[in-house]
Amino acid sequence: MREVILFGAAAQSGNLLSTLMLPVLFLAIFYFFIIRPQQKKDKKIKEMRNSAKVGDEVLTIGGIYGKIVKIKDDVITIEVGSDKTRFNITKWAIGSIQASSETTEE
């Protein structure tokens, strides 16, 4: 009778281990396929926005193309259109940096 009790306790601990393993497996899959790639993407975008400099051609998240003329902390002044209209945007509004006009002229 004593051996049966020990065997039952071992079965319960094995059952507990398999019960906990499934959620841990799902969390690991969730982390490696969703959270980690998003963190890498966010880091890359942040580096791109911090590397913006005067003279760069940018595309805002609103779809406006412009040239950076001034950077002050988190506010960027861009020139837009043939009449050189200037307005301020925040750094997080930069969708992508197209090219530096200084580099394309050389």
Q: pLDDT digit of tens for each residue in the chain (106 aa)? A: 455 454 555 556 668 888 889 899 999 999 999 999 999 999 999 999 999 999 999 999 999 999 999 999 999 999 999 999 999 999 999 999 997 655 544 4
Pairing between β-strand 75-80 and β-strand 85-90 as defined by DSSP bridges: antiparallel
* Domain layout of the chain by residue ranges: 1-50, 52-105
59 DSSP β-pair partners: 65, 96
Identify whether the C-beta of residue 95 lies closer than 8 Å to the C-beta of residue 61: yes
Kind plus residue range of the DSSP H or E element containing 90: strand 85-90
Class of domain 52-105: mainly beta
Length of the chain: 106
Identify whether the C-beta of residue 60 lies closer than 8 Å to the C-beta of residue 93: yes
**pTM tops 0.85, yes or no:** no
